[in-house]
Each structure stands twice: as C-alpha cells, then as structure tokens.
A and B are shown apart, each in its own frame.
Chain A
C-alpha cells in the first residue's frame, strides 16, 4: 500500500528528509562526527529546492546564523554532536530568550570532551535540559528508529514553530548511523505547522506580548523585512522587546517564557507504552536503548513474565504523568537502561519515590545496553 515511498535510509538521512518535509529552508552547520551526514545531505539538497545552506566557520557561528535566519522567517536547523553542542549553548540560550523557532540536532557521542567520536552515547540528556545558563524550559525529542527520526524531525519543527522555541532533536550515534527501511509519508499525510504571524499594524505589534497569540504566552512572530521594525535582544526585555531592569516586568516575561512550555507539558510530552497494561516490571527507556528494551520485554513476555516498556519519545519536558501512572500500578521495579551513568535515574526516582526500586543499567564506553542484560534485570526484579 505504501511501497511507493519505502526506502532504506540512515537515521541522519531520515532527519534531513523529515526536516525538508516540514519546510526546512535554511541550514547552517559545522562538520562533526557523528552528525556530519546531516550537513552533507543539506548541502546537496537545499540549493536544488531554493533553500539555503552554509557551512559556517565554527559551531557557535552555525547556531548564530540559524537564529538570524529564523528571524528572517526561515525554518532553520543545525546539527552537531557533544563538543559542538557545548559550543552552541550560549546562542541556544539566545534562541530561547529571543523566542526564535529552530531545530538543533545533537547526535550524541561518548564524552566528556572529545571522548569517543564514533561511539554511541546518551550522555547529553542533562546538557540538553540545562546546558545553557539561566532558568529556561527546553523541548527535546529522542527517536528510537530511523522511521521515527523522520517523524520527530517533522515534529521538532512543528513544536518549534508553534511555541516559538528551539527544539533539540536528541539523537544518538546508534540511530544516526543505523540503516533501516522507512516509509516516507506523502506530503498530504503530514501535519505541518507554521509560526503565527502578527495580524496587526507595526505600531501595535509587540513581539513579546503577554497576551497575544493563539497559544497562551506565545506571541506571534514577524519576520525581518516585513516592515514591523522590531527589536530582539538577549537582555531581559519587556513586551516591546526593549531591555528592562524593572523587576516586575522582568519576572512576568521570564515566567511567560517558562510557562509557555511548562503549562503545555501534556500536549508536548509523548510516550509509547509497550505491554504496559498489566506490567509488573517496567523498563523506562528512550532513544537507541529502547530498541534493546523492546526486545527484552518481548523475550520476557515469551517466558511468561509480565514486563512492559514505557518509552519516552519526549525527553524534555519529562514524562512525569506517565511515570505517575506507573507508580499507581505499584510495579515490582522500574529498570532504567541508559548509555550514560544514569542521567535519568534521579528524575525517575523523583516521581516513583519509594514505591518501587529504580534499577539503573548503564553503559558508558560506547557499548550498547544488550537485551539480555535488561532481561536479566527484569528476571531479578521478579
């Protein structure tokens, strides 16, 4: 039925296909393993469809150019990995503060520092949340398959545009370099969202209005060159975009900036529930690691063990509600396999509390968490 668009793609390639399907018109990047294929493919594809590609002089400049292009009305993206993601943090914060829709792909590799460039990791989960300074919310999505790399690339742009915020597509090297069959949907099958434009005069327009916009707290965004003559600054600003030191205005604006995401957690946070209805042991997994978790759960079920997987598709905002449901069902254990030293163990414990043991399984040197290891943990928990 859909054989017409079935293709063998790499995760990084699927990201580009998804981004272009979502309306990507601008890419700025810098070569870094294991994300480079994303830049290479954008360089090949964007000029042919009238989009813009530029390889910048460094990671910082790439993030800056993405912010500039977003203000000029483009759907803009950059892609990187650990060291580059670190360099991007200041301007990523600028995108948060300026409320500039854009997508930052981070194909995670082993860190800290240069680490193991070609090896898979999930070590940037907390950096994605708190890498840039100051109080802010962040949206991060993590695909577990090549197919999902495509759909979450589309979803990342939709969220970025709808909420006027940067979105992090938090890949890992396993998914980035994995090749598998994907079915690319037809254009008509996709829901594509675009930022809300102001429907007022330039004199009336307030780029950081408290109460304009279809979504509460998300003001419409004009584009440079459209005659609105508006000001954007990283300084704390009022509704008109100009700097303020007035604590009352600053507090209102900073609250709006955070609440536009936090108060929409329900709409933003997506999970997959796999054999969760009667699960006595729950595996909480995400990204590439969820593939092993899925196999372990299937194997456990084949042996008559009631295991299930709660897969976080959205990493940030965190899947609190779904974990609260887990807690209410009083499982025997919650197992958290990660390719890091347990970055999401504490957030899981914060929700689960003492109601069940939270058991981490960690790999930090580029090896994958094997299904057998998770299955063993499931059996021990029973």
Chain B
C-alpha cells in the first residue's frame, strides 16, 4: 500500500538534505512504513537522534522529535522513556554516533532492557564531516582518515548488543527494503530493548573512494555479502569471511525496565499504605 506521506512527514521540510542516492531516505521510509503498518499513535511516538547525516531524519518526521548531541540519543531517550513509559520511543543513530562516541550508551541500554527501538543508519563512514573512518568501516577500506586503507577491525554491532544482554537484534540493508521494514516492525513491537543494524549506502564519501561508483553498486555490494540467518548458521567460518547475516538475529524475552520499575513503585506505595 502506498504511504500517506502527509500523515508522517513534515511536508514543508522536504526535499531532505541528503545526497542523491543516499540510503538514509530508504531507511527513513522503512521506519515510516513500519509505523504505518503497526498503526502506532503518532501523538504517542517520539523519534530521537544524535549528530550526523542520520540525525537529520527526525526533522522530516511528524512526531515529537529530538535532535540531540553527538552519541547521546539513547541517553536522552532513556530519560523520555523512564518519564513516560506509555510513549513509543524510536532512536535514529549513525554508526559513528552509536558505536564510537555513543558506544557506552548503546551497551547499557541493551543491558537495562529498556523498551527502546534503536535503528542504526549504518553507512560505515562519517558522512557529515565528509568521510572519515568509523568503527564500522571494513578493514582495508578507504576513508579520508584511512588513506592507506582501514587498519582496525570493525565492530559487529548486533553481536555487541547481544553480548551486552540485548533481547532483540536484527540486521538488514537498503537493498532489502521490504525485509528492512519487517525487521523494524518486529523491533518496535518487541517489549524491551531492540536494535536494528540498517546498512545504508553513502555513495558520496564511501562509494566513490572504494570503487563503488553508483548507489546501485553499493546496494549490490550489500546484497552480495548478506546471508539469511538460516544459511549463515550452516556456513563455516571461512565461508562467513567478508559476509554478514541478515534478518532477526536474536529475540528473547526478559523483564523490561519500566515494567520492573512500575512494580517497585506499586510495592513501595502499598507498603506506605499498610
């Protein structure tokens, strides 16, 4: 079904500032479509971002929106969610935002199992500052600060979230726009902390420097390296080299923080009445 754009977008703020062929618009659309298909109350949905290209998305979205400081979106969102657990709180973050400067907030939010949905617009580069390497830049790739090729090993953010006790982690790409929408829907519906690694192309600062000349080249690069989880689990480590699993990678149930907190409040208040 076609999206009713004017219900979800601040029409007067578009066209957006992203470059031609940038994947961020595709991920943003997937979020909007997920919200639409889930029928979320737009008055009760808050979208929070940090700094960077991805962080501009909330400005285009017709909800309560908050564009915070670099890396801190999850921490701001923690305050909102604790204050008003009835709100759906969706965080849009970049890979530099979430994995470098904001890495501490990401693992602690996962550990707490606070009911937040984090969508990482993962283009494995700092786009807003014109192309420095991030903790997600593949080894050997070129960036303005890795002119001889990236020396360091990148994070696997889903594994990081799972290692921190996260109860939901998924990955998809802009090539797989329908799957991406579906995993975002599942992430939002999940009661507890949910993380989606959404691979998004930066043709301007990553593609051009890494022989992926067009947006389509980059999306095909995602397609060629992605493996559905079921097939992934049957692959040897050698076969897995250079590839990544897509889909919902983990989904478990655990007590959610605002619910546990509400139980504590109830218990203390009953004790007060006794």
Contact = CB atoms under 8 A, between A and B. Distances in A.
Interface of A: 25-26, 28, 47-48, 50, 52, 54, 56-58, 60-62, 64-74, 76, 90-91, 94, 224-235, 242-243
A67 B78 CA distance: 10
A72 B83 contact: yes
Contacts of B269: 48, 50
Given A48-B272, A242-B13, A65 B79 contact: yes
A35 B247 CA distance: 46
B80 A229 contact: no
Given A64-B75, A66-B79, A225 B68 contact: no
A378 B155 CA distance: 65
Nearest to A54: B82
B175 to A, nearest CB: 31
Which of B48, B68, B81: most chain A CB closer than 10 A? Answer: B68
Interface in B74-90: 75-84, 86-87
B265 A47 contact: yes
Interface string B41-80: 0111010100000000011001111111100100111111
B79 A73 contact: no
The interface residues of chain A, by DSSP majority, are classed as mixed
A50 B69 contact: no
A101 to B, nearest CB: 13
A73 B83 contact: yes
Given A229-B62, A234-B68, A73 B84 contact: yes
A54 B78 contact: yes
A68 B66 contact: yes
B63 A50 contact: no
Contact of B64 (A26, A66, A229): A229
Contacts of B81: 68
A74 B85 CA distance: 13
A227 B43 contact: yes
Nearest to A51: B265
A67 B76 contact: yes
B79 A232 contact: no
17 contacts: A48-B268, A52-B82, A57-B108, A60-B75, A61-B78, A68-B48, A68-B79, A70-B79, A72-B80, A72-B84, A73-B83, A91-B72, A224-B46, A224-B64, A225-B87, A229-B42, A235-B67
